Amino acid sequence: MAYQVTEDALVYSTLLLHEPRPVRGLSILRTNRAEVPIECRYPRQGNVSSHAIRPTWVPFSTTVISEEKLVFSLRLMEENWNTEKLSPTFHLGEAAYLQAEVQTGSHLPLQLFVDHCVATPSPDQTASPYHTIVDFHGCLVDGLSESFSAFQAPRPRPETLQFTVDVFHFANSSRNTIYITCHLKVTPANQIPDGLNKACSFNRTSKSWLPVEGDADICDCCNEGDCGSSSYSRHQAHGVSRWPKSASRNRRHVRDEADVTVGPLIFLGKASDQAVEGWASSAQTSLALGLGLAAVAFLTLAAIVLGITGNRHTTSHDVSLSQ
């Protein structure tokens, strides 16, 4: 094979040869010798060197990692769940609408669960004081503390889970902010929910636990406070990893769980207190305005009376002089 470099092409040339041979040991030939020249021309679009060339295809390992990359998020939403809440302020007595989600990309269908959530006055998960919102692998225990906090059923999508939390603040903290940190994890979408992968809310009317999906008995452990040997206790020493290891953590390349934080949520006090304060302020303003108007009216009337009295005195004096 020979090659040649021209101004606009790289040319490889060779010969395709055919040498006929006798068949089956006979001494006769039925074809002639052939020699076919072959030439391949490649346009020159850049410099050619002996350095390594980056492949133009995507390596398989990169494709696998890209397809299995998961992005977890936790967002504050408006009451209609359609848009993200832009203002982080709340009044006591209102509810925070939280949406947990995972972007699966090209991954196989997955279902998201909120394994554990805790509220703290700072972004530090291990800070004190704290309040546990979700515990025992998906039990929304905040619903037990005189609130209507609950998961929303049905889900909008398997990879999304929505829940509400009645807002609060820490009694002995000077801060009016809280941060909510949740541990999110996923399972295959066709996997049946169980004690380690569930979303259970406490129904105050029926005094029972109800799952978003699956059999009701998967929530029985929420009453017992023990939903598996890997259940995390918030009373463990600070500095120890808070989140349990997922039971399905053996898949290659995939990080199927993550900690996400939303905050700060800023509390302004009770909405009713604000209304009373606004009414009182308005009443005080109205009273002051009324007193001011009354004073002006009194001074105006006094001036008129004094003017009339003065005119009568002058007229009486003029009549006496003329007589």
**What pTM, to 2 d.p., does this model score?**
0.60
Does 213 reside within a domain?
yes
Reading the block at residue 228, the tokens are 């598996």
149 and 225 within one domain: yes
Does 61 reside within a domain?
no
The torsion of the CA quartet 193, 195, 196, 201, rounded to 10 degrees, works out to 80
88 and 42 within one domain: no
Does 322 reside within a domain?
no
140 and 88 within one domain: yes
Q: Which domain holds residue 9?
A: 2-47
The torsion of the CA quartet 166, 84, 89, 283, rounded to 10 degrees, works out to -100
Which domain CATH number covers 207? 2.60.40.4100
37 and 140 within one domain: no
Instruction: Give the Å distances, CA to CA, from 72 to 48, 109, 265.
Output: 45, 15, 20
Tell me the mean pLDDT in the region 289-294: 62
Question: Is the pLDDT assigned to residue 57 strictly greater than 80?
Answer: no
Does 319 reside within a domain?
no
183 and 92 within one domain: yes
Q: What is the DSSP letter of 152?
A: -
42 and 72 within one domain: no
212-254: pLDDT as tens digits: 999 999 999 999 888 975 434 443 333 333 444 333 333 334 4
Does 129 reside within a domain?
yes
117 and 43 within one domain: no
The 10 Å CB-count burial string (b at 16+, else e) for 143-180 is: beeebebbbbeebeebbbbbbbbbbbbbeeeeebbbbb
Which of 273, 293, 312 is at the close of a domain? 273
140 and 25 within one domain: no
Does 294 reside within a domain?
no
Looking at residue 142, what is its pLDDT? 95
91 and 42 within one domain: no
